Chain A
Amino acid sequence: MKPINEMRLTFPSRSANEGFARMAVSAFIAALDPTVDELSDIKTAVSEAVTNCVVHGYKEGIGKIYIHAAIYDGGRIRIKIRDRGCGIPDIKLARTPLYSSLGEERAGLGFAVMESFMDKVYVRSKVGVGTTVTLCKTLNLKDNC
Chain B
Amino acid sequence: MSLNIEKNKELTTVYLSGEIDHHSAKFIRNEIDSVVTSLAPRELALDFSAGTFMDSSGIGLVMGRYKLINSLGGKLYVKNVSPGTEKIMKLAGLDLLAKISSKEM
Contacts and interface: CB of A to CB of B under 8 A. Distances in A.
Nearest to B88: A113
Interface stretch (A3-11, A13-21, A65-73, A81-89): A13-21
A44 interface: yes
A55 B57 CA distance: 11
Looking at chain B's contact residues, is the secondary structure mostly helix, strand, loop, or mixed?
Answer: helix
B88 A55 contact: no
Interface residues of A, number: 25
Given A18-B23, A105-B25, A105-B61, A116 B55 contact: no
B21 A105 contact: no
A109 B91 CA distance: 8
Contacts, number: 66
Interface string A30-70: 00000001001101100110010011000000000000000
B73 interface: no
Nearest to A36: B84
Interface residues of B, number: 22
B55 A105 contact: no
B80 to A, nearest CB: 17
A105 B60 contact: yes
Interface string B1-41: 00000000000000000010111010001000000000000
A107 interface: yes
B23 A19 contact: yes
Nearest to B25: A105
Interface string B47-67: 000000111110111011000
A15 B23 contact: yes
A113 B55 CA distance: 8
Nearest to B18: A19
A124 interface: no
A104 B61 CA distance: 10
A110 B25 CA distance: 15
B72 interface: no
A99 B91 CA distance: 14
Given A19-B19, A19-B23, A113-B91, A48 B84 contact: no
Interface of B: 19, 21-23, 25, 29, 53-57, 59-61, 63-64, 83-84, 87-88, 91-92
Given A44-B88, A107-B92, A109-B56, 15 more contacts: A15-B23, A18-B22, A18-B23, A37-B83, A41-B84, A44-B53, A48-B56, A51-B22, A97-B91, A105-B60, A106-B57, A112-B56, A113-B55, A113-B88, A116-B91
